[in-house]
Amino acid sequence: MVLADLGRKITSALKSLNNATIINEDVLNDLLKEICAALLESDVNIRLVKQLRENVRAAIDFDEMAGGLNKRRMIQTTVFKELVKLVDPGTKPYVPVKGRHNVIMFVGLQGSGKTTTCTKLAYYYMRKGWKTCLVCADTFRAGAFDQVKQNCTKARIPFYGSYTEVDPVVIAMDGVEQFKKEGFEIIIIDTSGRHKQEDSLFEEMLQISNVCKPENIIFVMDASIGQACESQARAFKEKVDVGSVIITKLDGHAKGGGALSAVAATQSPIIFIGTGEHIDNFEEFKTKPFISKLLGMGDIEGLIEK
């Protein structure tokens, strides 16, 4: 993840504060420049980066602050607080409830990894003993149902879909209804890839959400995405009630900084990350432990609580 990778870089930038004899505006500006450049190279949204810079500047008043130590601490604390904001929306993720149905709908841009991740999530719950299944509500992409079918067959996950029905809303409704009757606990709905520029696709997403009334909607984002992520993520959130984020393809070189803007734009936490094409290349993501790890990377642990 971007912040973990950035951790060292930023920590060393912050440490340079200790070497500076006087802490003044120039020192702060240099520090911010270094941190912001690192964030931008990792695709963090430029507006968020600018905001971070302004927030830190606004929080540090050189005239009012007394000793050097105080200034250093203030700067370090503020920078970390701002970094934490990038990954922590301050909301809790949906937690499925045993013994009843939990409908989880996947949405996202084309090719972001929804279908692959649907199977991973189903497999994850299945292995934990939940009664789990998958509904393929993508009738658009060529071979979409075959993809789900092959994945599910291999992992022995019950699935629902159709080669003949063309309306994904009908499939989603029928599939969810059938699985509810059969007492499934985790019912995952895979949907087509879509983007905000095409109204009809967004309308379709809303309809599926309206008829299936999912307990949670997961927005899937590819770790390599750049500056276009934010406006897409915001548009998804405005249309349907996105509650969680999954970042995929973190096994590559990409740090996922662009995808982080989805956290801010949807006000939703990251719940899992995808780390490969195989069904078990999937890791839980917990914001708070991640942050403590991030903070633990320097000698500044604990600063944030003060």
Partner 1 sequence: MFSMFRGLVGGKTLTEADVEPVLEKLKDHLIGKNVAAEIANKLCQSIGKKLEGKIIGTFEGVSSTVRSTLTEALVQLLTPKRRLDILRDVVEAKSSGRPYTIAFCGVNGVGKSTNLAKITFWLIENNFRVLIAACDTFRAGAVEQLRTHMHHLNALHPPEKHGGSTMVQLFEQGYGKDAAEIARHAIEYSRKNNFDVVLIDTAGRMQDNEPLMRALAKLIMVNEPDLTLFVGEALVGNEAVDQLVKFNRALANQSAAQSHQVIDGILLTKFDTIDDKVGAAISMTYITGQPIVFVGTGQTYTDLRKLDAKAVVHALMK
Ligand X SMILES: Nc1nc2c(ncn2[C@@H]2O[C@H](COP(=O)(O)OP(=O)(O)OP(=O)(O)O)[C@@H](O)[C@H]2O)c(=O)[nH]1
Q: Which residues bind partner 1 (CB under 8 A)?
A: 37, 40-43, 46-47, 50, 109-113, 140-151, 154, 195-198, 222, 224-229, 231-232, 249, 251-254, 257-258, 277
Q: Residue 274: which of partner 1, Mg ion, ligand X, none does it interact with, CB under 5 to 8 A by kind?
A: ligand X
Q: How far apart are CA 53 and CA 48, in angstroms?
A: 9
Q: What is the CA 78 to chain-centroid distance, rounded?
A: 23
Q: Would you say how long the chain is, in residues?
A: 306
Min separation Cβ 199 and partner 1, Å:
13
Query: Could you tell me the two tokens for 236?
Result: 């998804």
Query: Could you tell me the two tokens for 113?
Result: 């990894």
Helix (H) or strand (E) holding 128: none
- Which of 78, 115, 139, 268 binds Mg ion (CB under 5 A)? It is 115
Residue 100 near ligand X by CB under 6 A? no
Min separation Cβ 277 and ligand X, Å:
4
Q: Residue 150: which of partner 1, ligand X, Mg ion, none does it interact with, CB under 5 to 8 A by kind?
A: partner 1
- CB–CB of 229/212 below 8 Å? no
Q: Which of residues 105-164 bind ligand X (CB under 6 A)?
A: 108, 110-116, 138, 141, 144
- CB–CB of 303/17 below 8 Å? no
Min separation Cβ 254 and partner 1, Å:
5
Choice between 82 and 222, CB closer to partner 1: 222
Angle of the 68-87 helix axis to the 25-41 helix axis, nearest 10: 20
Binding map of ligand X across residues 1-40, x = CB under 6 A, - = no contact: ----------------------------------------
DSSP three-state, residue 283 = strand
Min separation Cβ 278 and Mg ion, Å:
17
Q: How far apart are CA 191 and CA 141, in angstroms?
A: 10
